[in-house]
Amino acid sequence: MDKRQIGSLSVSPIGLGCMSMSHGYGPSDEKTSIQLLNEALDVGYDFLDTATMYGGGKNEELLAKALKTRRHEYVLASKCALFSKDGKPTIDGRPETIKAQCEASLQRLNTDVIDLYYLHRLDPKVPIEESVGALSQLVSEGKIREIGLSEVSADSLRRASVIHPIAAVQSEYSLWTRLPELKMLAACEALGSTFVPFSPLGRQFFTGKAQEADQLTQGDIRTSNARPRFEADAFAYNRKLLEPLREVAQEFNCSLAQLALAWIIALPNRAGKQTLVPIPGTKHIEYMRENIAAANVHLPLEVAEYVSGLIDDDKVVGARYNEAQMKVMDSERDRD
């Protein structure tokens, strides 16, 4: 399997988002998650993504428990600054908070170093230079190897890069969420930052197995902050957009999910290189295996461009987040 670079780190072209095993998508089973994580390494994943926020640290503990003898086999990414306080998401990007959260994550992960450590969300009360300055100190101390940013604007990335090289930017990107195409993908290319798409399957939408919000279990983020596209009327409309994608998937003898992932990893930058590293998340072993197999689906550029035109933000009904959630995002909000 070809590797892709995130700063000094070499990773599989598709990583594994671990959030859903502890957070955001209803109940999960620890025994199954431990089996999934081990089988993921066996079938080719070597880039695992977690965060302080996921399950209030429980997700980090899960990785440490499941893979305690296999730490050398994967690149570990975690995140700071976003956490739950009194049951509510809280953003604190002060240097002292970042350093304290890093120490706590190192303990939960049972590791001496985190390979890639993201600022999970930009704190509007703290200049990004201060937050990245704290991360830079953690690099100097050998506690983290590379610095990442999540859901930031291209301007914030440029400001951060003055303080320290930013190895990765993680933001939502999929066939129906194309916001990074406005400015971020070009900014990452110019600054040497790898773009890491999360929710590349549109929160299960591009598997063809998703349900509308009212049919989902309590605790699923698609019933709350990510609800707009899963509301009954919006969902009924959006599902129709999958039909031409099914035809392409059938032509390439792959699943809808594999097509959506193959589209991302096939996209070239302006230099003609394929650099994106999507991190689809799942708590189901069969889906984990299905997703990594997308690396074997090779879409010609003309097919990727055709797929790009079948669905995008302008064709979809509903925003990716509700209004309250969008207010805490630093990423570009307008299609200008």
Instruction: Identify whether 54 is a catalytic site residue.
Output: yes
Helix (H, G, I), strand (E, B) or coil at 6: strand
Q: Dig out the tokens for 280 from the structure.
A: 């689809």
Q: Give every CB contact of residue 249 below 8 A, 6+ residues apart in sequence.
A: 255, 256, 258, 259
Judging by beta carbons within 10 Å of its beta carbon (0-12, 13-18, 19+), is residue 196 exposed, middle or buried? buried
> b/e per residue, 11-41, with b = 16+ CB within 10 A?
bbbbbbbbbbbbbbbeebeeeebbebbeebb
Cβ atoms < 10 Å from Cβ of 234 = 18
CA distance 140 to 129: 16
| HSE toward the beta carbon, residue 75, CA cutoff 13 A | 26
Nearest by Cα to 284 from 197, 201, 228: 201
Choose, from 54, 118, 287, 321, the residue flagged as catalytic: 54
CA distance 254 to 293: 9
CA distance 274 to 262: 11
CA distance 85 to 92: 11
Question: Active-site residues: which are they?
Answer: 54
